[in-house]
Amino acid sequence: MILLRVLLVSRIDDRNALEFTKKLADSLEKNGFFVMFEKSTGKSLGSCGFPLKEISADFVIVVGGDGTFLHTAQCLPPNIPLIGVNMGEVGFLAGLEPREAIPFLLSMREGFLTEKRMKIRFSRGGSWLGDALNEAVIVTRSPAKMLRFTIKIDEIEAEGFRADGIIISTPTGSTAYAMSAGGPIVDPGIEGFLLVPLAPYMLSSRPHLIAAERSLSIVLESEKTATLVIDGQNRIDLGEYDEITVTRSPNPAIFICGKKTFFEKVNDKLKRL
């Protein structure tokens, strides 16, 4: 049997998450897995660890909430599968709950299924700004101020509106901030860009789902300074008339399929809200 190399990442400010990560590591090692820790996780557990950007593993297990999962996905090299164990409030990105995690993960010695999740790439003037697994948000840096946006699809001005901001979401991120702002839940098997205005001035400004094959750009038509926030992790300052180009990232995230389908998870987790 092939020895599987597993990297464990834990939320380090949560004692329950760290204790579960240690318990999980012990179970995996006893059953023939080669276990490694992410650097901060290892330090918190009194062990050595490895930086995410330099890791080589057959798959990664993230113990924590969606924030821990997104941080891991941002830093992980391409093409490494990952799965989450939910230790947060809702955990839409997690494939497993703690009670079912250890038996399922041990069964992965016999193989596992994966699915690709599209990421969105953001650029300005030809320079890469970052990739998002969930979403990016453009908001003003001045409280209670509105911004003006122009949306270009295939180089044609498709819409202009004023709003507190705009969310540019992947289908995976449709159950996150975009859903809270009134956007639809989108099957992650669909590849597209979900645009959701934040508190638009005109009620006619509605969410749009745009095919990933189209060219999309967002122009900031406002004198006010703004910030682009990618997956809640990276912040980029924007200036007047900055144009943000939105494309499909060449590096999708690789999710390990858990016990429940996407729609089973949505049905289960929405009941908790």
Number of domains in the chain: 2
Residues 138 and 67 in one domain: no
Residues 148 and 234 in one domain: yes
Each residue of 43-100: pLDDT tens digit? 999 999 999 999 999 999 999 999 999 999 999 999 999 999 998 777 789 889 999 9
Query: Is the per-residue pLDDT at 150 higher than 90?
Result: yes
Bridge pairing between strands 165-169 and 192-198? antiparallel
Residues 128 and 105 in one domain: no
- Four-residue CA torsion sign, 130, 132, 137, 141: negative
For the chain, what percentages of helix, strand and coil (3-state, to nearest 5) are there?
Answer: 25, 35, 40
Residues 51 and 67 in one domain: yes
Query: Is the per-residue pLDDT at 34 higher than 70?
Result: yes
Ranges of beta strands (E only) in 125-190 are 127-132, 135-140, 147-153, 156-163, 165-169
Task: Kindly tell me the burial class for residue 27, based on how many C-beta atoms sit within 10 Å of its own C-beta (0-12, 13-18, 19 or more).
Answer: middle
Q: What is the mean pLDDT of residues 231-247?
A: 93
Bridge pairing between strands 5-10 and 59-64? parallel
Each residue of 174-194: pLDDT tens digit? 999 999 999 999 999 999 999
Each residue of 125-145: pLDDT tens digit? 999 999 999 999 999 887 778
Domain that holds residue 210: 120-248
Which residues are part of the catalytic machinery?
66
pLDDT at 1: 55
Residues 104 and 126 in one domain: no
CATH number at residue 184: 2.60.200.30
3-state secondary structure of 111: coil
Residues 125 and 244 in one domain: yes
| pTM score, whole prediction | 0.91
Residues 74 and 159 in one domain: no
Residues 112 and 140 in one domain: no
Residues 95 and 152 in one domain: no
Residues 144 and 231 in one domain: yes
∠ CA 93-21-264, nearest 5°, is 30
Name the H helices within 125-245. Answer: 177-180
| Residue 235 to residue 227: CA distance in whole angstroms | 6
| Residue 128 to residue 244: CA distance in whole angstroms | 10
Residues 199 and 107 in one domain: no
User: What are 194's two structure tokens?
Assistant: 């979900």
Residues 96 and 180 in one domain: no
User: What are 91's two structure tokens?
Assistant: 């955990």
3-state secondary structure of 114: strand
CATH number at residue 22: 3.40.50.10330
Each residue of 93-116: pLDDT tens digit? 988 999 999 999 999 998 999 999
Confirm if 32 and 86 have CB atoms less than 8 A apart: no
- Rounded to the nearest integer, the mean pLDDT of the chain is 92
